[in-house]
Chain A
């Protein structure tokens, strides 16, 4: 997970991943589209490959770089868990806000239970 995040945190690599969502591309395609020279593209692709985000496929005369769904899906699931925690908190907060909006309840908050 950390490798996936680290790979995506670099802005140029993020742009490469965004571009590859449209389909596989060669080093030249990527360089041309993102205005990067070949060594720069290769350097970033190497990191993306090591993190498992892209794989290489040899097709006819060229090597095409393709996005792998698995690390992105794992990243998504991982984030969803954290978002769910906040969703659960905010659902409780919604109820509390409704209660506070009712004038009769203004200034009558329930005391927290304190045990030590």
Chain B
């Protein structure tokens, strides 16, 4: 089974690695084409859905992913700095301030993604570089937060189903 590995390097980097059962061109497309990103970036199992997904995948082009969950909306956006299909992609990312969403970290992070072919499979490495250690830690904490939200949402729906069953 393919496991996702996560590693912290120094005090402001996050490195995520995973192997996919398909060639780099397909993985690169799935990573960048907005109609495909919308299918996986907000996993349904996390109680999150994508309500808007736009991407102009070229150097200087911008993207924006708009997510919705029970407690409000969040949007991630950024600019493509390097676009070399199907092997390399560099882009910035900020969590946009929204009225209903959680308080964002305003500073942009830079993400470098490489797609390396290995016997017809793709070894993907996503390297996130944060401007400060605090930004990195808040990114990791937000993953934790959404996990807690998921648990809370599950609890709420359980409670609701109990109530409506009466």
A residues near B (Cβ < 8 Å) are: 1-2, 5-6, 9, 78-79, 81-98, 100-101, 109-116
Contacts and interface: CB of A to CB of B under 8 A. Distances in A.
Q: Which secondary structure dominates where chain A touches chain B?
A: helix
Contacts of A90: 2, 4, 18, 20, 40
Contacts of A2: 133-134, 137
B22 A5 contact: no
B147 interface: yes
Nearest to B20: A97
Interface in B133-160: 133-134, 137, 139-141, 143-144, 146-147
A93 B143 contact: no
Interface stretch (B48-56, B77-85, B102-110): B48-56
B10 A9 contact: yes
A83 B143 CA distance: 8
Contacts of A100: 22, 26, 29-30, 36
Contacts of B4: 83, 86-87, 90
Interface residues of B, number: 44
Q: Rank and list the top 7 A-B pairs by shortest CB-CB distance, nearest first.
A: A112-B38, A82-B143, A9-B11, A92-B40, A88-B43, A81-B144, A97-B22
B57 interface: no
A110 B39 contact: yes
A86 B113 CA distance: 14
A88 B46 contact: yes
B43 A92 contact: yes
B6 interface: yes
A93 B20 contact: yes
